[in-house]
């Protein structure tokens, strides 16, 4: 079963978020999840869904933000899949597809005409799962960062 995430799901959701993003700060992952279910503004997430089995064990989640734009999309703003995860033991049985369908249905009901997503270049199984779920590859990019070591002496402008 796939349903909207609720306050009672925060612990299970946070555990799965930490498995999807093992390098992310655990406190931030938990506080963003709590902010979302409490309806607080400290999260960019607009919708999140949970998949669970007959014993109400969490199997996976999908979460969506509405971004101002997304590369390759025609519409602005556009819903963007920020996280899509199924527990390893539950993969390959249609859970991910059902989660993605819930995200698409939510976006469609909100009036959006397309939905975007992304994945890392090396994540071939995610690429294939996206394509199997009807996503078309539109771009590949390399991201950069540079630490700013200057101490600001005056405000910009
Ligand atoms: C990507 C992910 C969510 C898919 O979940 P899943 O429950 O295994 O997906 P489903 O069983 O619903 O499969 C959906 C479709 O994708 C295809 N697919 C899924 N994994 C695949 C893989 N590794 N290779 C090829 N096709 C794959 C399925 O065959 C299916 O298509 P079909 O119905 O035409 O056969 C899951 O593999 C996962 O959590 N991966 C790790 C996290 C991740 O990479 N998330 C995406 C980036 S945020």
Q: What is the pLDDT of residue 144?
A: 97
Buried b (16+ CB within 10 A) or exposed e, 56-80: eebbbbbbbbbbeebeebeeeebbb
Task: Please indicate, yes or no, if residue 157 is contained in any of the structural domains.
Answer: no
Q: What is the pLDDT of residue 156?
A: 63
Which of 91, 99, 116, 134 maximizes ligand 1 atoms within 8 Å of its Cβ, making it the mutation to test the pocket? 91
Task: Please indicate, yes or no, if residue 138 is contained in any of the structural domains.
Answer: no
Q: Which domain holds residue 36?
A: 2-132
Residue numbers of the chain with a pLDDT score lower than 50: none
Number of domains in the chain: 1
Buried b (16+ CB within 10 A) or exposed e, 114-142: ebbbbbeeeeeebeebbeebebeeeeeee
Q: Alpha carbon 91 to chain centroid distance?
A: 17
Task: Please indicate, yes or no, if residue 139 is contained in any of the structural domains.
Answer: no
Q: What is the pLDDT of residue 154?
A: 67
Q: What is the pLDDT of residue 137?
A: 97
**For residue 63, what is the domain's CATH number?**
3.40.630.30
Task: Please indicate, yes or no, if residue 8 is contained in any of the structural domains.
Answer: yes
Q: What is the pLDDT of residue 151?
A: 72
Task: Please indicate, yes or no, if residue 148 is contained in any of the structural domains.
Answer: no
Q: Are 6 and 39 in contact (CB under 8 A)?
A: no
């Amino acid at each position: 079963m796939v349903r909207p995430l609720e306050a009672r799901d925060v612990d299970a959701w946070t555990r799965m978020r930490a498995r999807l993003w093992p390098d992310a700060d655990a406190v931030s992952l938990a506080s963003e999840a709590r902010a979302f279910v409490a309806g607080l503004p400290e999260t960019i997430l607009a919708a999140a869904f949970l998949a669970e089995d007959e014993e109400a064990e969490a199997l996976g989640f999908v979460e969506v933000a509405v971004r101002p734009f997304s590369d390759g999309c025609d519409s602005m703003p556009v819903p963007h899949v920020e996280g899509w995860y199924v527990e390893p033991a539950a993969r390959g049985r249609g859970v991910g597809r059902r989660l993605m369908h819930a995200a698409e249905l939510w976006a469609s009901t909100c009036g959006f005409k397309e939905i975007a997503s992304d994945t890392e270049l090396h994540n071939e199984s995610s690429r294939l799962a996206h394509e199997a779920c009807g996503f078309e590859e539109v771009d590949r990019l390399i991201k950069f960062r540079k630490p700013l070591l200057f101490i600001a002496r005056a405000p910009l402008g």
